[in-house]
Amino acid sequence: MPKITLTEVKKGDPLKVDKLNSSMDSIRTAAAAIDADNVRIEGVDRRNFKATSTAVNDVASFVNVSSGVTNLNVQQDFVYNSSAMHGHTTEQFKHHTLANGIIGPFSWDASDVAIKLNLSLAYTVPGMHDAHATEPKCSVRPVSSRPYFVFDIRRRDGSSGSWNTVSGTERKIAFNHVAPNFADRVPHKGSLSIVHLVDLAPPSSGVYFSPFVTIWYQRLSRPITITGYNFFGQRIRR
């Protein structure tokens, strides 16, 4: 801390210029280099800080809508269906009437602390059946009748272009319940959450994130219904 050291004037002393200048020099030097130690402990409060000084929040499709508060997908179901028999189809999450559930754009620099992404959802998927002798019930392979879904979070750099899986965010669900035939299948329900810290190296700008689900295998009826989701990101700067 730059500290001011006063050269006190004593009673009876001759008041010389250099004595006064010494004190003023000390004040001038200190004033030009004020740092955190010049401020009283807990002397600064919220009023002194500009908004988003410590964190920036982004919720689902915040960038595309006027209000980020009222556009969470908690009251609308989405059905994603694979058209690939015994193959797989990847679907990007939707968002109400908008095309996709995207958050961003995020920017960060080397001094930021973190960007944390949270996804939470509920789902319903069809069960397996035992009607096809050629479809093993409990396999994770192309001829299976097992419902097998993989969720992940993907990243896009820029306002257009390809989405790339964020490594480590893959979450898989599959079930072993088997019904004797297609008509007797029962749906499975569950919930799923993903939390992820974005790799902040290197500093970037214009980065978007979006949830995806990949629907694997299954010969017939391959829908997954998302009964509500919330996807948000927080940029923690300090």
Partner 1 sequence: MAFKYRQAFFENGDIIDARDWNRNVAEFADELNGYLDRDNLPPVAFTHEHIKTKAFNEFYSSIANTTAEHRTINGNITTWQSESDAGLGFGALTFASDTDALAVVEWSGSWNWAPTHVDYQWRGVSGYAKNTLEYYVKYRLIVDGMVVTTVPNSVWTRAFDSGYMCAAIPLPAGNHKVDIEVRIRSKDGGPAYQDIVLMERELICWLRKR
User: Could you say which residues in the range 109-168 bind partner 1, by CB under 8 A?
Assistant: 111-114, 116, 118, 120, 130, 136-140, 146, 148, 151, 167-168
CA 53, CA 125: separation in Å to the nearest integer?
A: 43
Q: In 3-state terms, what secondary structure has residue 33?
A: coil
CA distance 174 to 221: 15
Query: Least distance from C-beta 101 to partner 1, angstroms?
Result: 18
- Show contacts with partner 1 in window 172-201 (CB under 8 A): 172-178, 188, 190, 192-197
DSSP run (H or E) holding 18: helix 17-31
Backbone angles phi, psi at 8, to 5 degrees: -70, 145
**Which residue of 16, 21, 22, 27 would you call a contact of partner 1, by CB under 8 A?**
27
51 near partner 1, rule: CB under 8 A: yes
> Which residue of 47, 69, 75, 161 would you call a contact of partner 1, by CB under 8 A?
47
Minimum separation from the CB atom of position 174 to partner 1 (A): 4
Taking CB under 8 A as the criterion, the residue among 16, 21, 22, 44 binding partner 1 is 44
Token couple for 221: 């009826």
Cβ proximity of 90 and 66 under 8 Å: no
